[in-house]
Amino acid sequence: MSDDRLLTIGEFSRLSRVSVRMLRHYDEHGVLRPTRVDPFSGYRFYAPALLHTAGRVRALRDAGLGVAELAACAPFTDPALLRRVLLERRAAAQAEIAAVRSRVADIDRFIDELEVPAMSTTITRTTRPARTVASVRDVLPTYSDEGLLWQRLGAGLAAAGAAPAPDGEAVAVFHDPEFVEHDVDVEVQLDVLAPFEGTDAVRCVEVPPADIAVGELRGSYDGMTAVMADLGAWVAAQGLREAGPMFNVYVAGPMENPDPTSWVTRVCLPVTSA
C-alpha cells in the first residue's frame, strides 16, 4: 500500500485494532487526530504512518492511562516523556499489586480466624502515674504513617536536650475524637529523665495521671481490632465513660524484634465513672 493513499476509518480500525467508536473519541479529545476530514461528509482518513502511533496509544491505554493522560502524551514522539509516564504507571501498578496482596492476606487471616474459637482479652483498670515525656504531634496521612513521628522524635531528642528514661515507655496517643480514614491527629511520646527546654520539633510535655482501662495485645497489630472491641465492651459493662484519647503503650515491638509473635502492646482508654 502506498503511503500516499489514506486509509478510511474502517480500514484504519481493522489494522490498528482500535474500534471506530474509540477513534472518533480519540479525535474529539486530541489523542489521535485523523490526517484529513472530508469537509462535506465528515469522513475521517488516516495516513498509514499513524498505525504506529495507534500502537503506542493502545500500549499506553493498556498500561492504564486515561484519555486526558493520553492527550497529554500526543503526538507520542517524545521517548523521554513516554518513559516518564510509563515509569509512573509502573510505580502505580506496583502499589496496586501491594494493596491487593495485603487484601488477600486480610482475607486469609479472616478465614483462619473462623476456624479458631475467639479469645477474649483480659481487661484491667488502673491509675497511670504522671509522666514527663518528649513529644512529637502532627497530622498524618493515615494511621500506618505513625512511624514517621517516631523517626522525627528519635532524630530530635539530642537537639532538644532530652535524656530518655532507661525504663521509659513508648506511647502513641490518638487525638481524634472518632476514627478517621485520613489526616489523623497522632502524638508519640517517650519518657525522659527530667523536664527539658524543647524545640519546635520535640516538645516537653507533662502528662497528668489518668484512670485507664487496659487490654493487652500479644502478637501482630492485626489483632488490635479484637482487643479494642473487648475493651469497649468491658468499659460499657462497667458503666464507665471515656475520659480522654485512646493510646497505645508499646512494651515490645518491631524495634526490639521483627518477629510479630514477640510484640506486646497495651491498648489504653482513659475512663471515668458515669
Domain regions of the chain by residue span: 7-77, 123-273
Does the pTM of the predicted model rise above 0.75?
no
Termini Cα distance of the chain: 87
Q: Please list, residue by residue across 31-46, b when 16 or more beta carbons sit within 10 angstroms of its beta carbon and e when fewer do.
A: bbbbeeeeeeeeebbb
Residue 23 and residue 9 in contact, taking contact as beta carbons nearer than 8 Å:
yes
Topology of the domain comprising 7-77: Multidrug-efflux Transporter Regulator; Chain: A; Domain 2 (1.10.1660)
3-state SS class at 5: coil
> Given the C-alpha cell 485512646, which residue does it identify?
246
Strand order in the sheet with 7-8: 7-8, 44-46, 36-37
DSSP SS3 for 3: coil
The whole-number pLDDT of residue 274 equals: 67
Chain centroid offset of residue 172 CA: 18
Distance CA 203, CA 161 (A): 10
Interacting residues of 129 by C-beta distance below 8 A, sequence separation 6+: 209
Cell numbers at residue 105, please? 492476606
Task: Give 134's strand partners.
Answer: 190, 204
pLDDT tens column, 24-67: 999 999 999 999 999 999 899 999 989 999 988 998 898 888 89
Q: Which of 272, 247, 270, 252 is nearest to 262 (CA)?
A: 252
The pLDDT score that the predictor gives to residue 118 is 59
pLDDT per residue over 78-112, tens digit each? 888 888 888 888 898 899 999 999 889 888 878 87
Q: What is the residue-level pLDDT of the chain in tens, covering all 274 positions?
A: 444 789 999 999 999 899 999 999 999 999 999 999 999 998 999 999 899 999 889 988 988 888 988 988 888 878 888 888 888 888 988 999 999 998 898 888 788 777 766 567 899 999 999 999 999 999 999 998 999 999 999 999 989 989 999 988 999 999 999 989 999 999 999 999 999 998 999 999 999 999 999 999 998 888 888 899 999 999 999 999 999 999 999 999 888 888 888 999 999 999 998 6
Contacts of 160 (CB under 8 A, 6+ apart): 134, 196, 197, 198, 199, 201, 202, 203, 204
CATH topology of domain 123-273: Multidrug-efflux Transporter 1 Regulator Bmrr; Chain A (3.20.80)
Count CB atoms within 10 A of the CB of residue 179.
Answer: 10
